[in-house]
Structure 1
Amino acid sequence: MNEESGMRNEELQHASPTGSPDNSSFLIPHSSLPDTAIVILNWNGAKFLREFLPGVIACADGARVVVADNASTDDSVELLARDFPAVELLLLDQNYGFCEGYNHALRQVDSDYFVLLNSDVAVTPGWLQPLHQLLAANPRIAAVQPKILAHADPTLFEYAGGGGGYLDRLAYPFCRGRLFDTLEKDLRQYDDPRPVAWATGACLLVRASAWRALGGLEPAFFAHMEEIDLCWRFWNAGHEVWYHGGSAVQHVGGGTLPKSSPRKTYLNFRNGLALLYKNAAPGEVRSALWQRVLLDWVALARFLLAGNWPEARAVWSAHWHVFQKRRYWQQQRQAAQPHLRVAQRPGVYAGSLVWAYFVQGKRKFSELGLKG
């Protein structure tokens, strides 16, 4: 973490006697909240809309609530028109996936701030205020996420965001509160606001000007790791990305693809490799890519030994896709202009998460020796 970010971090940590943030110091009047649009990208999510949209509306604090429908084939559109007439509805002509779906939708939304919110997220009263206060205190912050807890068990951090997103030197993602599939209990140990490598796309407050300057999400990703790519580009462009544990939401997770599926494996391995190539600094990218490819092939071998042919085929297909599209990814790398090295990027573990987790048996964020 650079000195400037560290100083702001200290200034923004208002702790109570119990060590948890005093949320009252972050509250601002509802009438003072900036122009904000909460945008939910929906595809066949009528079940989630019925369950969670009433809470989003009740806790919007004056923000617009927009549902962008990705050509759903269930009764989502009818449900919105009938039961939620106050919600703005954007109809997309086809299922563009998460990335292009949001890109298409946000081109049609004129607001100073966007909230990218999954349809399976339960928000809480006042959740937007601490996030906005953080952006108001530091104009360099482009995006901030709240604490993400598991809806099924709110005592646990949730997989897709936890207490803020981190990367190891090979761009394997993890969170405070989650290493691979191991989730920690929320003991308010990660309630402090701090800069992170990436913030979750499940619930993300974004400065619209920064979003537009970078062109939104990487369309070729379709889904998975798109928010990591966006946040990495924010950092390379001179912006900052933060987490704020003074705000908390609950996420169901796995609403689009099951936790274990060849399609999800393909997207994770394909996008993970492309993410590293696109954003790693010159002088580090070549070595990191070779090591990442080797570890991915170890994973492929494990799938084969376990007789899991569909997952093994997914890893192979992911690497073949990146190789075939190498010219496209070269162009995207040139456009991203990566320059920040591992030591210059907040939220980056200089070691190997794979080694720490699978060989050394480390299961908690605190065991990695990172501050926070």
Structure 2
Amino acid sequence: MPATTVVVVTWRGAAHLTDCLDALAAQDRPHRTLVVDNASDDGSARLLAEHPSRPEVLRLPRNAGYAGGLAAALSAVDTEYVAWLNDDAAPQPGWLAALEDAMRPGVAAVASRLEYPDGSAQSLGVRLTADGHGADLLSTGEPFGFCGGAALLRTDVLRAEGSVPAGFFCYYEDTDTAWRLRLAGWDVVVAPDAVARHRHGASTRPGSALFHRWNERNRLLMLVRCAPAIVAARELARFAAITVLLPLRRDVPAAANFRAGLRVRVLAETAARLPAALWARAGIGRRASVRRGVLWRRWAGR
């Protein structure tokens, strides 16, 4: 029996999905490949059916996003480990072996080295900023979390600690998951030899209004779920204050996340999801073996 199920979530990924599947077929460690097809309508279904590696396919009736696809796949995983892999990432042949070999006792998740197509580093894990953002770590050393584009997790621990926040749809599901694992007393490490080339932005458009909407909303929800209460309240208040004051500023940045309309929508969506986030927070707190403040002081701003 293989130790790992590699879950690839795709949506209209026909342009790059073959490279991902070819790279998985070339791995030197046995594994299951499970592709979650988010109701693609671009020929991905035929491509998956005809690929010589014959991946297992879970086709969803609608696009549930990356987070929703990962959550849906978890019930079909019966291996010790589950790997998350973007459909626009192509891991090197020793990728999975390096991840599995780094999964020592006390570790619940292992980050990969994600590279841009030119070979430069995109991520060696995720660090936690002083204001509660997850940011790519570009140097070796223990990360706070992992980039969900290519990572390995213990299946039973992921289930026990609340699975994947499917409602996030896309972005911050990885940092939220890593935060919950650390609150439960587990470690997150990086395997620098687990290399995957990533066509960053092939599936989504970083910098777009939709990107910033998901990114800002999910960061706030993650803080409500995982951060010390004073930090979550501070960042919610800061986001709201900046939104209110934007019309009075002359030096408004051009980025989409400084558009007043987008920020009002983020606040509205966050408010609508606040009861569920607070309910999740209570469950996370009951399972935690590390105090939120202790974790925050150790990692925020490093």
TM, length-normalised to structure 1:
0.73
**Equivalent position of 1:3 in the other structure:** none
Give the Cα–Cα distance (whole angstroms) in 2 for the partners of residues 80 and 347 of structure 1.
44
Match for residue 233 of structure 2 among 286, 290, 304: 286
Give the Cα–Cα distance (whole angstroms) in 1 for the partners of residues 53 and 193 of structure 2.
31
Give the Cα–Cα distance (whole angstroms) in 1 for the partners of residues 255 and 239 of structure 2.
23
1:280, distance to aligned residue in structure 2 (A): 0.8
**Equivalent position of 2:109 in the other structure:** 143
Q: 1:166 to 1:68 in 2, by over 3 A?
A: same
Give the Cα–Cα distance (whole angstroms) in 1 for the partners of residues 220 and 245 of structure 2.
14
**Equivalent position of 2:65 in the other structure:** 97
Q: 1:341 to 1:212 in 2, by over 3 A?
A: closer
Q: 1:246 to 1:297 in 2, by over 3 A?
A: farther
**Equivalent position of 1:197 in the other structure:** 144
**Equivalent position of 1:13 in the other structure:** none
- 2:192 corresponds to 1:245: yes
Q: 1:245 to 1:298 in 2, by over 3 A?
A: farther
**Equivalent position of 1:263 in the other structure:** 210
Give the Cα–Cα distance (whole angstroms) in 1 for the partners of residues 30 and 16 of structure 2.
22
- The SS at the match of 1:329 is helix
What do residues 204-253 of structure 1 show as CA deviations (whole Å, max 9, x unaligned)? 10110111112321122111111111111111112121112122211111
**Equivalent position of 2:299 in the other structure:** 348
Q: Tell whether the 8 Å contact from 1:35 to 1:113 is kept in structure 2 after alignment.
A: yes
Which deviates the most, 292-301 or 107-116?
Answer: 292-301
Q: 1:93 to 1:308 in 2, by over 3 A?
A: closer
Q: CA RMSD in A?
A: 2.7
- 2:190 corresponds to 1:224: no
Which deviates the most, 286-295 or 65-74?
Answer: 286-295
1:309, distance to aligned residue in structure 2 (A): 9.5
Amino acid at match of 1:276: L
- 2:163 corresponds to 1:163: no
Q: 1:307 to 1:341 in 2, by over 3 A?
A: closer
**Equivalent position of 1:186 in the other structure:** none
Give the Cα–Cα distance (whole angstroms) in 2 for the partners of residues 249 and 319 of structure 1.
35
**Equivalent position of 1:35 in the other structure:** 3
Aligned length: 298
Q: 1:108 to 1:201 in 2, by over 3 A?
A: same
- 2:130 corresponds to 1:173: no
- The SS at the match of 1:95 is coil
Q: Tell whether the 8 Å contact from 1:146 to 1:244 is kept in structure 2 after alignment.
A: yes
Q: Tell whether the 8 Å contact from 1:44 to 1:73 is kept in structure 2 after alignment.
A: yes
Give the Cα–Cα distance (whole angstroms) in 2 for the partners of residues 305 and 204 of structure 1.
34
Give the Cα–Cα distance (whole angstroms) in 2 for the partners of residues 58 and 305 of structure 1.
45
Which deviates the most, 299-308 or 206-215?
Answer: 299-308
Identity across matched positions, percent:
26
